[in-house]
Amino acid sequence: MIQDEIQRLKEDQGAVILAHNYQRPEVQEIADFVGDSLELAIKAKEATADVLIFCGVEFMAETAKILNPSRKVILPVKEAGCPLADCLTPEMVREAKARYPEAAVVLYVNSTVESKAEADITCTSANAVEVVRSLSETQVLFGPDANLAHYVAAQVPEKEIIPLPADGHCPVHQEYTLADVEAGHARGDAVVCHPECDPAVQEASDLVASTGGMVRQAHLHKDWTVLTEEGMAYRLGRLFPDRTFHAVEEVVCEDMKRTTLGDVRRALETGEYEVTIDEAIAGRARKAIERMIALRG
């Protein structure tokens, strides 16, 4: 069985497999750790294994490499990107900084390493509010997700949150509508959505949470409609078999779903595709990411 081959190769190589909550069920099953983007970043930073096989998308594997540069970090599918991350260029960040010289720059980890190098601090959806509250500046440039920026602005009204760009969105989470919330409520479910969803969807939902937050708060209700990539409903169902989690099955992140078990086996056999980042850029991005990690606890 391919799972046994992966296990054997993993032991031979001294590798660990990290997987995001949106990965295919069979990839989640062979992973040593499954989590949200903040949990994965922390795991990667603390990892002692020689090789980290990162089943997720490019910005997550890059964050792992930046936090633990002496490890070999492998992204099994080179094309596993994130259109949200790609919508913000470092030039756009530099221009905004020139326009708002007093503002702090907070970038969601769903951004390129070149853009992160321009940031004061990064955040994930699990800690965005905490990160923004930690700043001394009252004006904050926040990108690239405008819906997450809206969520933060509502939680931290004492700060001026300027979305950068004005209309950055995840195309996957943009697909959820009020009709999905209403369908969940009609079923008798509590509805949880990710803060990358449209503000109207956030406001109509019972809970807004990162994927890790969904795990931590699943005990609050028995039946849930989960408005985030469908892999999350699988993850929650595995963790809480006595509860039900309805997903909107047609809402899928193609990038997250690119990685198959065959890709994981090939990555272990060939060492492809190793993440490498120019240290001049990595060093600047590391400061912003480490500042976020240091807020923990």
From candidates 63, 111, 125, 225, binder to ligand 13P by CB under 6 A: 125
For the residues of 185-251, what is the DSSP string, one character each?
A: HHTT-EEEE-TTS-HHHHHHSSEE--HHHHHHHGGG-SEEEEES-THHHHHHHHH-TTSEEEE-TT-
**124 sits near ligand 13P (criterion: CB under 6 A):** yes
Site for ligand SF4 in 72-131 (CB under 6 A): 82-84, 110
Nearest to 85 by CA among 110, 106, 105, 60: 110
Q: Binding partner of residue 83 among ligand SF4, ligand 13P, none, CB under 5 to 8 Å per kind?
A: ligand SF4
**19 sits near ligand SF4 (criterion: CB under 6 A):** no
Query: What is the DSSP code (8-state) at residue 109?
Result: S
Distance CA 71, CA 153 (A): 37
Query: What is the DSSP code (8-state) at residue 82?
Result: -
Task: Mark residues 200-239: x for contact with ligand 13P by CB under 6 A, - for none.
Answer: ----------xx----------------------------
Q: Where does this chain touch ligand 13P (CB under 6 A) — which range of 2-10, 25-33, 120-128, 244-252?
A: 120-128
Q: Indicate the residue among 56 and 268 with the shorter CB distance to ligand 13P.
A: 56
Q: What is the edge-to-edge ordering of all strands in the sheet holding 223-227?
A: 207-208, 190-193, 223-227, 244-247
Closest approach of ligand SF4 to the CB of residue 279, in Å: 26
Q: Indicate the residue among 176 and 224 with the shorter CB distance to ligand SF4.
A: 176
Closest approach of ligand SF4 to the CB of residue 254, in Å: 8
Q: Where does this chain touch ligand 13P (CB under 6 A) — which range of 113-121, 123-131, 240-248, 273-281?
A: 123-131
Per 3-state DSSP, what percentage of the chain is helix, strand, and coil (rounded to 5)? 45, 15, 40
Relative orientation angle of helices 58-67 and 37-46, to the nearest 10 degrees: 30
Residues 85 and 144: beta-carbon distance below 8 Å: yes
The site for ligand SF4 (CB under 6 A) is made up of 57, 82-84, 110, 170, 172-173, 196, 229, 253, 255-256
The site for ligand 13P (CB under 6 A) is made up of 21, 36-37, 110, 124-126, 170, 194, 196, 210-211
